Amino acid sequence: MYGRAQRWPVTLAVTICLTLGSGALAQNMPGDVNDLMVWYKADAGVEESDGVPATQGGTVGFWRDQSGNNLHATIADPTNAPTLETNPTLGNVPVVQWGGSGGTGFSVPGASLAQGQESTYLVVFESVNETSNRRFINFTGTAGAFRNYSKGYPGGGTADPPSVAAPFDGTRAYHGAIPINDGVPHLGALRSTQGNVDQFVNGVLDTLTLWYDPVGAGEAWELEAVDSLLIGGAPAGRYVGDIAELIIYSRALSDTELTNLSANYFEPRYDFPAAGDFNKDGAVNDMDFEIQGMNFFEPGGFAQGDMTGDGFVDLLDWIELRPLLSATGGLSAAVPEPGGIALLILGGQMLIVVRRRAQPMRCLKIGRRQ
């Protein structure tokens, strides 16, 4: 949820009750929320060149802005354009896909934020682990920048979480803590305000760690103007992954606005899986437990039971899954096979050891379609 230490389902119910009780209209579409600046989505306005619709598997050289502001995105280098593809993990929706070869991505002439102007970025994406410095959203000015790096860029030394930087003076940068698993779609929301930056991954407030601060931690700072928006790759090579949708508001949206957009617009459009629902059948139960067990101590992604995003299925993933099973009664609904029971016991025993040695694990709580 777009508040502190909350989750989507609980707050969603509260939001709906309040909305019905007050008679206010829910904000169902991005255009219903004021201060929409740019809106790109892969199921509309995706063109090979201006006025020529892109074909499935074909290149995308022009991405038509749906905000009404006519801030269309154009590929600076047509020979290295991304392609229009279909993403099965997002629900077989169209996506713009980058393969990581050279090129500069889309540029958006005219998009800008003034000095001191707050902003909110919403992006539906699926990325691939990539340790190069690839900025899939890059909004820069002479004194500051907003950037969202590909997963894996080591930055301050952490190879797993994505990194974000905000249009601060001197461009401070942060690491997130929520894993971005390969092969799993995410809704990222970043709210940049005068004095703070909040990042949400699938509705959960991330814990951001400052890893780059050329000005010096603790001193006053302010948002700098940005006037160069690049999508999908700049400056050191292109993004590796898919973008289904990108929306930027020239204002910091409220928690309620973010919740409404997520529940009423993004969640119905995209097939975001719940944490631990490896087979994406809408439940976290013994079937997911068995999937993880079958792939134990093996390389694998989310579909194989990896919850930490490190591309390997092991006890740390079991630690993440276990409370979700307990919460849903997943293991009481069916009796696990003997191998699963052995794993359960082993996991419980090892859990104690791991917890004594390791930092407390943070469970990934992902909001669900209602």
Site of interaction with Ca ion (CB under 5 A): 277, 279, 281, 283, 288, 306, 308, 310, 312, 317
Buried b (16+ CB within 10 A) or exposed e, 358-369: eeebebbbbbbe
Of 8 and 121, nearer to Ca ion (C-beta) is: 8
CB atoms within 10 A of CB 257: 18
215, HSE (Cβ side, Cα atoms, 13 Å): 15
Q: How far is the CB of 288 from Ca ion (least distance, A)?
A: 4
CB of 330 to Ca ion, least distance (A): 8
Q: Are strands 52-53 and 46-49 parallel, antiparallel or unpaired?
A: antiparallel
205 versus 325: smaller Cβ distance to Ca ion: 325
Q: Which two tokens stand for residue 163?
A: 């990194």
Q: How far is the CB of 239 from Ca ion (least distance, A)?
A: 23
> Are the C-beta atoms of 275 and 324 separated by less than 8 Å?
yes
C-beta closer to Ca ion: residue 85 or 310: 310
Greatest pairwise CA separation for the chain in angstroms: 62
- By C-beta, is 211 or 312 nearer to Ca ion? 312
Choice between 54 and 325, CB closer to Ca ion? 325
Alpha helices in the chain (DSSP H): 8-22, 255-261, 267-269, 286-294, 315-328, 338-357
Of the pair 48, 182, the CB lying nearest Ca ion is at 182
Whole-angstrom Cα distance, residue 270 to residue 344?
A: 33
C-beta of residue 212 within 8 angstroms of C-beta of residue 165: yes
Residue nearest to Ca ion (CB): 308
- The minimum distance between CB 79 and Ca ion, in angstroms, equals 38
Quote the least distance from Cβ 308 to Ca ion, whole Å: 4
Nearest distance, CB of residue 280 and Ca ion, angstroms: 7
